[in-house]
Chains A and B, each alone.
Chain A
Amino acid sequence: MNTPTSPAIRVEGFAKRYGKRLAADGLSLTVQQGEIYGLVGADGSGKSSLMKAVAGVLAFDAGTVEVFGTRVDSARSAERVKQRIGFLPQGLGLNLYPDLSIEENVDFFGRLRGVAAAELAERKRQLLEMTRLDAFRGRPMRQLSGGMKQKLGLVCTLIHEPDLVILDEPTTGVDPVSRRDFWAILGKLLEEKGITALVSTAYLDEADRFHRVSLFHEGKVMGEGTPAELVAQVPGTVALFRAEPQAEALLRLKAAFPQTEAMGPWLRVFAEGLDAAGARETVGNALTGILPTDWFAREPELEDVFVAMLRQRGAQLESAFSAGSHMPAGATDLAIEARGLTRIFGDFRAADAVSFTVPQGEIFGLLGANGAGKTTVIKMLTGILKPSSGEGRVAGADMRSAGRAIKERIGYMSQAFSLYHDLSVVENIRLYAGIYGLDERQARLRSDWVIGMAGLAGFENDAAGRLPMGLRQRLALGCALVHEPRVLFLDEPTSGVDPIGRRMFWDILFHLSRREGVAILVTTHYMSEAEHCDHLALMYAGRVVADASPEAMKAGIAAESGQLVELRVDHPVPAQAALRAAGFASATLHGRSVHLLSRDAATDLRRLPGLLAEAGITVHSADLRPLSMEDVFVHRITALEAADRRAS
């Protein structure tokens, strides 16, 4: 047996190569027993390779991997630790058997792992109850929602009570409510059974769910430690303010602060190495004459720090746009108008009286879980799907009867980045130019514009399929923009892209909207991206249930349910239970912290440490945190779901 202090996982100099591509390049990390350890990074950053190697299901090229003191360096030695490991591979529900029911899936995993019948029945009962899947035991896996598939995957991974679970992106493709539910269940299970977990995620804002994390980028570890330690590695201040004209202010700030972003009408600057006062002074100087208003100074978030780390290692965040803006005529007209859009499939209302408007020059976000009706609305607005009733107008024309001329004023970029992977960058652009009927001269001009805008210079003749995700995404955007559309539809455009790529993408969208007056409608379930939008509509069960700016939505939640309080404690699981017992139904686990909403924050900050001390829990710190869009989303949707349950 191992002593409790010996590490669960020790990785040293791990390298893995697929053909010519180096997927992991000298990775090292140590996971202690009982830890929830996070691997955070974009697609292709080496997370999966490392996890598979640790699970003993992938041979690697260099380095050592030790699990519970056993070296995993051959098929034979890997077998020795496999009974102590549970591995959930990447891809939502893909490792499950779609034609088997929930119960049959669990039974298969149990028997495969040699769990005795009586024990299997008991564990199955417990786990299905905890994940609230017990009511659906007989339902075939293929008919489950994303969140249910994810929970079933977890149950199947835990059925043999492993000492270590390895979960590869368990929350990708799942809506925020299910995600939060998943983290709560996982945290509780791991704590109860003393299981160690190695979990990867592409969402940086999930890092605070872990005890410790490694930040992955292009096969290397950029930093390791607790989320707080990592944030402390690059000190600085985040300033949030308004400044008009916004586009001009952004350009001026970028020169001094590369990490400047537009968030709707706000500007967000990471002032590296400066305190709040220093940031205010330096930002003021950089703005040369434009006066910032509504100033807020905040602690940096992990993403700010990660981007700073990448910049220190040479990543460029330069904007392809320069000064000299012009807003085209008629820029403030209504670009998109949905009026009572309804679509009925059989007796299912995929979209139910959806109404909203988007003026030219606005970035509009459509949020919602899978199946909430986002894609149905986009299809009706682009004229692909006929509404059952109501109407969608784009650029003033009814999309049911719109001719080609109108459709050519629309750009559309889908989730899958509809590119031809075997064609080169230029060939892809020329193909789209051809489809939209551009003549030779226009095609050449626009092709040059796309390559400059997307930062594709030097990659012109590379096959699209071989580009890194970020470049591929910007190429797809370029192809959707090749005919200079006035209205742009983006369906989940940024899944799997690294933070630098995401920033450059949003920089482009911002310039398109502000400088060229393009109206942009984005669907996303990356909640951190929703913050970039000027305006949001939240969809639930085919309906728009909230329609406001991100700020107004947060303010609405704060007024309704209170402010967000973060308590850092020594024993988060019992702390959460104690807080729930004390009436804080919103208490959720975030790594070693508990978050809750408080209507009287000043009082609660003072009294909660005492309340928890009575339960034998030490509170290290209690702070107010800004509400995130994810908090808003989860709060709204949970309330609606509860109302639905009461109604039925």
Chain B
Amino acid sequence: MKHQRIIALAWKEWREIIRDRLFFALAFIVPTMLMLLFGFGLTLDVENLPFAVVDHDRSAASRDYTYRFISSRYFDFKGQAGDERQLDTLLADNRIRLALVIPPRFGERLARGEAAPVQVLIDGTFPMRAQTTQGYVAAINSAVSLDNMAGALSAGRGIPLAEAQARVQPVKLEVRYLYNQSVKSIWSLAPKLIMLIMMLSPPFLTALGVVREKESGSIFNIYSSTVSPGEFLIGKLAPYVAISFTNGLILWALAVGLYGTPFKGDPAFFALALLLYVVCTTGLGLVISMLVQTQVAAMIVASIVSIIPAVLYSGMLLPLSSLAPGASAIAHALPPMYFTNIVVGSFLKGVGWQALWADMLVLTAYAVGLFGLGYLLFSKRPSA
């Protein structure tokens, strides 16, 4: 190993990345941009659902009922509609996601102690959002029913309202969400986005960086010189690892600063884990670059082998426990899952070495394995 050669290679690579507009953007702009796009665009919270009401009753009771929805932070009241036909247009145009239709004599029936139906129309195009919406509606509706019942009980028996409420609902749930107290999806999403973006960007950069030398023919400068494969790989890849690691830190700062995600873990541990993960994903890019001959092929292969594991088999969108056994096995065979454990643990749970040493070990094995494979696949005297 001659460090002079390694430095020469790394220096050359760095200048090329800085000066080539495409590479510059890929290296320094795309990761941050992805963080912003996904962070603001991929929120899974169901809040401020626009809705409208058709009130055929126009009684105090129907106004009360409607008001319960209007005052909820989950709903955004868009106004009264004249009739059901108007609702169709509003739903079809995506101006509302939900509509309540209160029938005539709604108040009258309640007063008489009869059951009063209310029709709820929910936009079902996104099943998950529709189900959540239905849950909110059911919760508000049952709260209204309980209040009505308690009111009737208190008035009928002459007991205080609080006691009547306790009678009506003897068991009361006290829920506390751990690690993410207000169940904000961005708190959970932002750390996982670091995992996702650090899975996409380094393989792309690395694979393109190596393959473009193959495509242009400048790789022959390496082949025909006495640089050893080890020196070449270290010198060539060091800038990519350094750039990606820096990007990881920038994403960490965005998660904490911009999205307000709490970071409860050990920064030094997290930095080490990030470095390990970046070495892993750079190694993935290296292996891809050894197997393909053109930049187009490198891009296609890199996007397949990085996006799918990072999105589907990492625990980003779905918890791993909900995967089928086969899918779970795949998830365990790929690095993103392990780094997801580390980011979630470091950000939200505040755990470190003790809880996550096994994940660190697996990432280390990956880093060594991928670089080993890249080293073996690299030949200075190929047969084509």
Contact of A58 among B9, B221, B222, B382 (CB under 8 A): B382
Q: Flag if A99 contacts B16 (CB, 8 Å).
A: yes
Cα distance A85–B15 in the bound complex, in angstroms: 27
Given known A78-B380, A99-B15, contact A57–B220 (CB-CB < 8 A): yes
| CB neighbors of B among A58-101 (8 A) | 58-60, 74-75, 78-79, 82-83, 85-87, 89-91, 94-97, 99-100
Chain A 83-121, CB within 8 Å of chain B: the 1/0 string?
A: 101110111001111011000100111011110000000
Contacts of A108 in B (CB 8 A): 8, 11-12
Cα distance A79–B232 in the bound complex, in angstroms: 14
Cα distance A156–B217 in the bound complex, in angstroms: 14
Contact of A85 among B11, B218, B224 (CB under 8 A): B224
Given known A99-B16, A112-B5, contact A87–B220 (CB-CB < 8 A): yes
Contact of A104 among B5, B15, B217 (CB under 8 A): B15
Given known A75-B379, A112-B8, A114-B226, contact A95–B15 (CB-CB < 8 A): no
Contact of A78 among B7, B222, B381, B384 (CB under 8 A): B381
B125 at the interface (CB under 8 A from A): no
Q: Flag if A95 contacts B19 (CB, 8 Å).
A: no
User: B5, B9, B216, B381: which has the most chain A beta carbons within 10 Å?
Assistant: B381
Contacts of A56 in B (CB 8 A): 223-224, 380-381
Q: Flag if A75 contacts B380 (CB, 8 Å).
A: yes
Q: B13 → chain A, closest Cβ, in Å?
A: 9
B85 at the interface (CB under 8 A from A): no
Of all chain B residues, which has the CB nearest A117?
B4
Q: Flag if B381 contacts A113 (CB, 8 Å).
A: no
Chain B 214-248, CB within 8 Å of chain A: the 1/0 string?
A: 00111011111111000000000000000000000
Contacts of B383 in A (CB 8 A): 58-60
B2 at the interface (CB under 8 A from A): yes
Q: Flag if B217 contacts A97 (CB, 8 Å).
A: no
Given known A57-B381, A58-B383, A114-B5, contact A82–B226 (CB-CB < 8 A): yes
Cα distance A96–B12 in the bound complex, in angstroms: 11
A18 at the interface (CB under 8 A from B): yes
Q: Flag if B224 contacts A55 (CB, 8 Å).
A: yes
B20 at the interface (CB under 8 A from A): yes
Contacts of B20 in A (CB 8 A): 99
Contacts of A74 in B (CB 8 A): 381
Q: Flag if B15 contacts A57 (CB, 8 Å).
A: no
Q: Flag if A90 contacts B217 (CB, 8 Å).
A: yes
Q: Flag if B217 contacts A112 (CB, 8 Å).
A: no
Q: B217 → chain A, closest Cβ, in Å?
A: 4
Cα distance A60–B381 in the bound complex, in angstroms: 9
Q: B212 → chain A, closest Cβ, in Å?
A: 10
Q: Flag if A112 contacts B225 (CB, 8 Å).
A: yes
Of all chain A residues, which has the CB nearest B229?
A75
Cα distance A78–B383 in the bound complex, in angstroms: 14
Cα distance A573–B380 in the bound complex, in angstroms: 37
Q: Flag if B216 contacts A94 (CB, 8 Å).
A: yes
Of all chain B residues, which has the CB nearest A104?
B15
| CB neighbors of A among B264-295 (8 A) | none
Contacts of A107 in B (CB 8 A): 8
Q: A252 → chain B, closest Cβ, in Å?
A: 49
Q: Flag if A95 contacts B16 (CB, 8 Å).
A: no
Given known A57-B380, A75-B381, contact A99–B220 (CB-CB < 8 A): no
Q: B205 → chain A, closest Cβ, in Å?
A: 15
Cα distance A111–B384 in the bound complex, in angstroms: 27
Given known A59-B382, A89-B217, A95-B217, contact A112–B15 (CB-CB < 8 A): no
Q: A593 → chain B, closest Cβ, in Å?
A: 31
Q: A59 → chain B, closest Cβ, in Å?
A: 4
Q: How many A-B residue pairs have CB under 8 A?
A: 91
| CB neighbors of A among B175-227 (8 A) | 216-218, 220-227
Of all chain A residues, which has the CB nearest B7?
A111
Q: Flag if A109 contacts B382 (CB, 8 Å).
A: no
Contacts of B382 in A (CB 8 A): 57-59
Q: Flag if B381 contacts A95 (CB, 8 Å).
A: no
Contacts of B15 in A (CB 8 A): 99-100, 104
Q: A626 → chain B, closest Cβ, in Å?
A: 38
Contacts of A89 in B (CB 8 A): 217, 220
Cα distance A103–B367 in the bound complex, in angstroms: 36
Chain B 139-159, CB within 8 Å of chain A: the 1/0 string?
A: 000000000000000000000
Of all chain A residues, which has the CB nearest B380?
A75
Contacts of B220 in A (CB 8 A): 52, 55, 57, 87, 89, 95
User: B5, B8, B382: which has the most chain A beta carbons within 10 Å?
Assistant: B8
Cα distance A54–B16 in the bound complex, in angstroms: 30
Contacts of B221 in A (CB 8 A): 95, 109, 112, 156
Contacts of A87 in B (CB 8 A): 220, 224
Of all chain A residues, which has the CB nearest B23?
A99
Cα distance A580–B210 in the bound complex, in angstroms: 48
Of all chain A residues, which has the CB nearest B384?
A18
Of all chain A residues, which has the CB nearest B220?
A89
Contacts of A90 in B (CB 8 A): 217
Cα distance A83–B228 in the bound complex, in angstroms: 12
Q: Flag if A113 contacts B216 (CB, 8 Å).
A: no
Chain A 471-512, CB within 8 Å of chain B: the 1/0 string?
A: 000000000000000000000000000000000000000000
Contacts of B11 in A (CB 8 A): 108
Contacts of B222 in A (CB 8 A): 112
Q: Flag if B19 contacts A99 (CB, 8 Å).
A: yes
| CB neighbors of B among A343-370 (8 A) | none
| CB neighbors of B among A576-609 (8 A) | none
Of all chain A residues, which has the CB nearest B215?
A94
Q: Flag if A97 contacts B226 (CB, 8 Å).
A: no
Of all chain B residues, which has the CB nearest A99?
B19
Contacts of B225 in A (CB 8 A): 82, 112-113
Cα distance A606–B84 in the bound complex, in angstroms: 114
Cα distance A74–B381 in the bound complex, in angstroms: 8
Cα distance A78–B226 in the bound complex, in angstroms: 9
Contacts of A78 in B (CB 8 A): 380-381
Contacts of A18 in B (CB 8 A): 384
Q: A152 → chain B, closest Cβ, in Å?
A: 13
Contacts of B227 in A (CB 8 A): 112
Contacts of B19 in A (CB 8 A): 99-100, 140
Of all chain B residues, which has the CB nearest A78?
B381
Q: A64 → chain B, closest Cβ, in Å?
A: 15
User: B19, B218, B221, B382: which has the most chain A beta carbons within 10 Å?
Assistant: B221
Contacts of B379 in A (CB 8 A): 59, 75
Cα distance A52–B383 in the bound complex, in angstroms: 10
Contacts of A52 in B (CB 8 A): 220
Of all chain B residues, which has the CB nearest A57?
B223
Cα distance A77–B226 in the bound complex, in angstroms: 11
User: A90, A91, A114: which has the most chain B beta carbons within 10 Å?
Assistant: A114
Q: B305 → chain A, closest Cβ, in Å?
A: 26
Cα distance A99–B9 in the bound complex, in angstroms: 14
| CB neighbors of A among B356-379 (8 A) | 379
| CB neighbors of A among B53-80 (8 A) | none
Contacts of A114 in B (CB 8 A): 2, 4-5, 226
Cα distance A363–B20 in the bound complex, in angstroms: 44
Q: A98 → chain B, closest Cβ, in Å?
A: 8
Cα distance A90–B224 in the bound complex, in angstroms: 13
Q: Flag if A97 contacts B218 (CB, 8 Å).
A: yes
A-B contact pairs, 23 of them (CB 8 A): A55-B223, A57-B381, A58-B381, A58-B384, A59-B382, A59-B383, A79-B380, A87-B220, A87-B224, A90-B217, A91-B216, A91-B217, A95-B218, A95-B220, A99-B15, A99-B20, A100-B12, A100-B15, A107-B8, A109-B221, A112-B8, A112-B221, A113-B226
Lowest 4 CB-CB distances: which A-B pairs, in order? A111-B8, A99-B19, A87-B224, A57-B223
A residues touching B (Cβ–Cβ < 8 Å)?
Answer: 18, 52, 55-60, 74-75, 78-79, 82-83, 85-87, 89-91, 94-97, 99-100, 104, 107-109, 111-114, 140, 156
Further 10 A-B residue pairs, CB within 8 A, beyond A55-B224, A56-B381, A108-B8: A57-B382, A58-B384, A78-B381, A79-B226, A94-B216, A94-B217, A95-B216, A97-B16, A99-B16, A112-B5
